[in-house]
Amino acid sequence: MPDTMTPMTASSKPMSKHAIALREKIDAHTATVGIIGQGYVGLPLALVVAEKGFPVVGLDVDAEKIEALNAGRSFIHYIPDSRIGAVRESGKYEATENFDRLRECDVILICVPTPLTAQREPDLRYIRIASEQIRNSLRPGQLVVLESTTYPGTTDELVQAILEGESGRDGDQMTHLVCGEDFFLAFSPEREDPGRADFTTSTIPKVVGGVDPVSGDLADLFYGKVISSTVRVSTARAAEASKLTENIFRAVNIALANELKIIYERLGIDVWEVLDAAETKPFGFMRFNPGPGWGGHCIPLDPFYLTWKAREAEVTTRFIELAGEINIRMPEYVVEKAMLALNERGKAMNGSKILVLGLAYKKNIADPRESPAFEILDRLLDLGASVNYHDPHIPVAPSMRRHPEFAGLHSADLTPAILAEQDAVILITDHDKVDYGMVAEHAKLIVDTRGVMRGIREKIKGRLVQA
């Protein structure tokens, strides 16, 4: 029988003294937690961890963000200042630009962006930089968890190699620390869904997979202290694949809904009526709505992480890539519909005034990342239109990775006079705060990509185009 003072893992391998010490700190809520990245993923997680009693160090390279957080000010609209102020006053949360403070952290969570390159290949520079910063302060007894969405193998191929100083990069130094013995490494995908009220950071089940069983045990123990439930999987690769599978499922079904919209429109069938009818089946159908394209920080990006990794195994991903082609083309389809509708009314797109209604990638949030609205604005400008936008949640357009030219553009007021001035209004995001009755009454032409106007379409027949 094993010594009761030497706990066993799922693999029946004794825990090292460093693992035992870390486990005791996590159990006692005395483990200091460092979270790299204080954005849409890292900040909500930091607040939950601090609210559960762990001391949290939030790390970010954005000096303005750090200053705001330490002053108790939120930059995410659905996180109130009072919540940040509360954890600051409790002494459980501090934000900093000083990455040397990683040395004092017992648990380190990596919540950094994973964009694509212009060639739609994984861009892991932020994961690499974060891993190198951790390696510079790595000591025995630390648990590192990657939360950024990525392809299977990133945690054990890239992050582990960097942490052990074996990544092959110039200037790497061996840390002489062994994963699973001295430090511990796992993957747990973020599952944030901004704007949801029914599920929050603390109530969405957390998938956890370790590079080794001991790392998986420690990561599962930690998340179990701050999240309502965890889902333990066998490896970090399985956890990485689970997140990609979730978002690929959504991407493929959104593409199907978009393709059906185009087909049914050609056949003179209302896709929204069809979806309403299909949704009445109590089994075997899950509704996905069509729209102007895909958006957000996950769905437009994550599927391509798997297609890139699959090529390494000489596997083609035709289904995923076809879904990508359909979704990427939707902004072009919307602009074509608007252009044809204007043409039928004797107006050219060149010189027309167009108001894009909604800049966020989905309703009732202030997040414009990868929103199709930017691609639509860009195409309208290329065709010579005079464009503006209205979004009650985004008063000023931020600088975007792919469309920095729209940074600083201000949301127009939504008034009867402004609506009447427009040659067309293109409805991109169906925010609840918008007065669609006023839009219907005063707009000369409405291009509706979300089916918002379908309940009153008979009243505005001749001025409504479904796209």
DSSP 8-state symbol, 359 = -
Concatenated DSSP letters of 211-249: SSHHHHHHHHHHHHHHSS-EEE-S-HHHHHHHHHHHHHH
| Contact indicator for 127, 146 with CB cutoff of 8 Å | yes
Question: Which tokens belong to 326?
Answer: 């359909």
Active site residue 111: no
Measuring CA to CA, which residue among 310, 187, 215 is closest to residue 23? 215
Q: Kindly provide the b/e burial profile for residues 135-150, where b requires at least 16 CB atoms within 10 angstroms of the residue's own CB.
A: bebbebbbbbbbbbbb
User: Strands across the sheet with 353-357, in order?
Assistant: 386-390, 353-357, 424-427, 446-448, 464-466
Q: Which of 105, 111, 179, 298 does the annotation list as catalytic?
A: 298
For residue 77, how many C-alpha atoms fall within 13 Å in the half-sphere facing its CB?
13
d(CA 57, CA 55): 7
Residue 209 identity (one-letter amino acid): G
| Contact indicator for 337, 465 with CB cutoff of 8 Å | yes
Q: How many other CB atoms are found less than 10 A from the CB of residue 59?
A: 27
* Residue whose token pair is 């007021």: 413
Active site residue ranges: 298
